[in-house]
Amino acid sequence: QVQLVESGGGLVQAGGSLRLSCAASGRTFSTGTMAWFRQAPGKERVFVAAIRGSGGSTYYADSVKGRFTISGDNAKNTVYLQMNSLKPEDTAVFYCAADPGWVTATLGSQYDYWGQGTQVTVSS
């Protein structure tokens, strides 16, 4: 059974930083794609960042470029999201997603596996 477990969310002031982690178990994603999406209250879930297990190519939403960094550790089957210069508009539930294949990174419908989400709240 595949599980994705997110951690690292919390409450932070604007301008602060948080680091999210997503640990996968049950199968490896070293040749696939892992990503972060987020869903703000009353809004749809949207793409944040993704990383390829093979080669390490990364992709970012325009709204987080230069502030967020996605990285992965294939040995630990874990992906991270370092979030700096956080803004109140970053407040959302952040979800980890993973797929064992080479999917269109920005499309949530392409991912087979999802975590339960972790809340990030940025106060002004």
Per residue in 11-26, pLDDT (tens digit) is 999 999 999 999 999 9
DSSP letters spanning 50-117? EEETTT--EEE-TTTTTTEEEEEETTTTEEEEEE-S--GGG-EEEEEEEESS---TT-GGG-SEE---
74-113 tens-digit pLDDT? 899 999 999 999 999 999 999 999 999 989 999 999 999 9
Residue among 27, 19, 17, 22 nearest 6 (CA)? 22
14-73 tens-digit pLDDT? 999 999 999 999 998 988 999 999 999 999 999 999 999 888 899 999 999 999 999 999
Give residue 54's pLDDT: 87
Residue 108 tokens read as: 């949530």
Share of the chain above pLDDT 90, in %: 90
pLDDT at 7 over 90: yes
